[in-house]
């Protein structure tokens, strides 16, 4: 079930705990560009590729926006993932998938004939006014960091 949120939609507010045990509230970031990227699971091949590419581009991305990775994993799992791969950006824990459902990225999945519920790899770029500026659906992990950077540069240039 793909998200129904589109560019121009108000970004739903939320509060989640990050990998450092701190609470992060989206409305507290108003006035800044924000990137929320959903990924299925810590320390799996695709999720590691995506996170490490963001890490490697962090010097450029961090100057453009606040960025958060979000998955249903626990804070403890996020801490291990962060430390293992030296990730500089915060990972938000959504173990009850409340925020994932709010953003429409939690739904039925199929893999090798097995059905289960999980995260659709999706990224939202949120403008300083709290509206969604861009949605990346069905994200391919490899190359996504550069897509994010290019989009932020383009959106900020036209703002």
Residue 78 lies in a domain: yes
Residue 36 lies in a domain: yes
The answer to whether residue 11 sits within a structural domain is no
pLDDT of residue 2: 60
Closest to 18 (Cα-Cα) out of 74, 93, 95: 93
> What's the CATH number where 149 sits?
3.40.30.10
10 Å CB burial of residue 65 (0-12, 13-18, 19+) is: buried
Q: Which residues contact 22 (CB under 8 A, 6 or more apart)?
A: none
CB 91 within 8 A of CB 67: no
Distances (CA, A) of 57 to 60, 93, 132: 6, 22, 22
52 is catalytic: no
Residues 2-39 have pLDDT tens digits of 668 999 999 999 999 999 999 999 999 999 999 999 99
Q: How many domains does the chain have?
A: 1
Options 16, 47, 87, 149, the catalytic residue: 47
User: The domain containing residue 74 runs over which residues?
Assistant: 30-158
Domain membership flag for residue 41? yes
| pTM, full prediction | 0.94
Please tell me the predicted confidence (pLDDT) of residue 149.
94
Cα-based distances in Å from 117 to 40, 51, 72, 73, 75: 10, 22, 11, 14, 20
Residue bearing the bigger pLDDT, 33 or 156: 33
For residue range 77-129, what is the model confidence (pLDDT) as tens digits? Answer: 999 999 999 999 999 999 999 999 999 999 998 888 899 999 999 999 999 99
User: In 3D, which of 150, 34, 23 has the Cα closest to residue 103?
Assistant: 34
């Amino acid at each position: 079930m793909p998200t129904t949120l589109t560019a121009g939609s108000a970004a739903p507010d939320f509060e989640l705990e990050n990998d450092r045990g701190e609470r992060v509230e989206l409305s507290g970031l108003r006035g800044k560009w924000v990137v929320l990227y959903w990924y299925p699971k810590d320390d799996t091949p695709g999720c590691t590729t995506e996170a490490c590419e963001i890490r490697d581009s962090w010097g450029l991305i961090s100057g453009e926006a606040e960025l958060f990775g979000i998955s249903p994993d626990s804070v403890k799992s996020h801490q291990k993932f962060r430390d293992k791969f030296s990730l500089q950006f915060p990972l938000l824990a959504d173990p009850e998938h409340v925020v994932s459902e709010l953003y429409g990225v939690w739904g039925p999945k199929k893999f090798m004939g097995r059905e289960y519920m999980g995260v659709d790899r999706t990224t939202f770029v949120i403008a300083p006014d709290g509206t969604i500026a861009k949605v990346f659906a069905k994200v391919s992990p490899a190359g996504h960091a550069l897509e994010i950077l290019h989009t932020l540069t383009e959106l900020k240039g036209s703002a």
